[in-house]
Chain A
C-alpha cells in the first residue's frame, strides 16, 4: 500500500475547465441547429472550418511556444464555434479560417494562452475580420431562401420586420444570433449547469434595451435585433475577460449596453455589440480593481489601501 501525500482539500468540485467548456459547446448546439435550419449547408461548412482551424491553430501555437498542449480543454473549439456563429452565412470559408487562426494564435496564444488573453478571442477575431474584409462580413442572406437573396438586417431596416420575426429568427443576420429561442435554450442550460450566472446576460440585455430606448430606438426591438442576446449569453460571459465580482459585472454589463446604444445611434457600423464588448473587456481590470469585495475583518478596502500605500 502506497499512500499519497497531498494537501487538503481531498475532494474537488466536479466542475473542471474542460467540463465548463463542454457545457458551453452543448449550450451552443441549439443555435447551431437553428443556424443550419435557417441558412443551410453553408452554415455547417463555416462551423466545421472555424472549429477545426481554431483547434489546429491552438495546437500549432502551443507547439511553437513550447507550451503543454491543452487543446483537450476544448476552449479553442468553443472559440471557433462562437466565431462561426457570429459570421454571416455567406462568409467565404477562408475568411472564417483566418478569423479562427487570428483568434487562437494572435489574441490568445501570443498573450500567454487561455486565461491570459485580455480580449475575448472570438470577438477580437470578428472585429479583425470586420475591419479586414467588411464586404464579406456585412453581406447577409435571407433565411430559408434557396437562392440566398441578400437582405437588409433589422438594424439597417428597422421597420421591415415584425417582433415575431425578430424573435424566431426569420431575419437576415449571423448564423447563431438570429434565432432567439435557441439562444434562450442555451442560456437555460448554462444556468442550470451553473456554468455562468444570470447577472451578465440579464443586465446586458436590459441595459442595451434601456439605453437604445433612451436614444430613440424601440426597447424590445433593440434587444432582439443584432447579436445582443447571443453576445450577452455566450460572449460577454467569457470568464477570462469579464469582471469577477457581481458588482463589477453589473458595471460591465451597463457599459456594454451604453456603448452598443451609442454605436448604433451615432457610429459608422449599424451593429455595435462586438466593439462594445471588446471595449469593456479592456476596462475589466479597472472594474475589478474598484469592485473588490471587502475582506472580512477590515473596515473597507479604500482605508486599507491608503494604509498599505502610506
Chain B
C-alpha cells in the first residue's frame, strides 16, 4: 500500500488523529449504518474534490483558494446528496443536513489544500487514504454507539442488557469519540515506537 494511503488510515487518521470532520462524527453516528453511509459519502466527495483541487491548484491564485475549494466541495456534496436522495432515500433522511454540510467540512478543505500543493500521486494517495480512514473511524464510532446506545448492530438485536441512553445522545458521542481517539492514539503510538526501535 502506498505510504500516503496508509498514513491517512492509521497514523494520520483524519478523525482520530487530526480531529477533522468531528461534527458529523458526533451527529450521525448513533447507528452504524448511518455512520458508514456518511463515511462513504464523505470519502467519495473527498476523492473527487481532491482531484479537481489538484487541477485547479495550478490556476487559482492563492487568495482565492478557500472560496474555490468550498465551491468545488459544494458541487460534489450536492451530487452526493442527489445520489443519496435518489437511490437511498432512507439513509438520506437519516443523514439530513450533514450531507450538504460536507461542503464546509474541515476535512475536505484541508485535503483540497494538500492536493493543490502536491503531486497527483500524493494527492490521490492522500485522498484515498483519508477517505478510507474516515470511513473506518466513522463506522467504529457508529458501531460502538449503536451497540451501547441501542443494543443493536446494523439494526439487529445484540445486547443482553438495557442500552445506555447516554451513548445515543450527543454528549455520549463526545465520550465515545474521546475514548476511541485515546485507544487509537495508544495503539498507533505503540506501533510507531516499535518501528522506531526496529529502525
Contacts and interface: CB of A to CB of B under 8 A. Distances in A.
Interface stretch (A76-84, A128-136, A167-175): A128-136
Interface in A120-138: 128, 131-136
Contact of A133 (B165, B179, B182): B165
A106 B171 CA distance: 14
Nearest to B171: A131
A94 interface: yes
B175 A106 contact: yes
Contacts of B171: 131
Given A131-B165, A132-B164, A134-B165, A110 B182 contact: yes
A147 B57 CA distance: 75
Contacts of A128: 166
Interface in A181-234: none
A134 B162 CA distance: 11
A172 B97 CA distance: 46
Interface residues of B, number: 12
Contacts of B175: 106
Interface string B124-167: 00000000000000000000000000000000000001101111
A128 B175 CA distance: 11
B162, B172, B182 interface centre (most CB from chain A within 10 Å): B162
B79 interface: no
Q: What is the interface of chain A mostly: helix, strand, loop, or mixed?
A: helix
Contacts of A136: 162
Contacts of A133: 162, 164-165
Given A131-B169, A131-B171, A106 B179 contact: yes
A202 to B, nearest CB: 33
B167 A132 contact: yes
A110 B179 CA distance: 9
Interface string A105-149: 010001000000000000000001001111110000000000000
B166 A131 contact: yes
The 10 A-B pairs with the shortest beta carbon distances in the complex, nearest first, are: A132-B164, A131-B166, A132-B166, A132-B165, A133-B162, A131-B165, A128-B166, A94-B161, A133-B164, A134-B165
10 contacts: A110-B182, A131-B165, A131-B169, A131-B171, A132-B164, A132-B165, A132-B166, A133-B165, A134-B165, A135-B162
Interface of A: 94, 106, 110, 128, 131-136
Given A131-B166, A132-B166, A135-B162, 9 more contacts: A106-B175, A106-B179, A128-B166, A131-B169, A131-B171, A131-B172, A132-B164, A132-B165, A133-B165
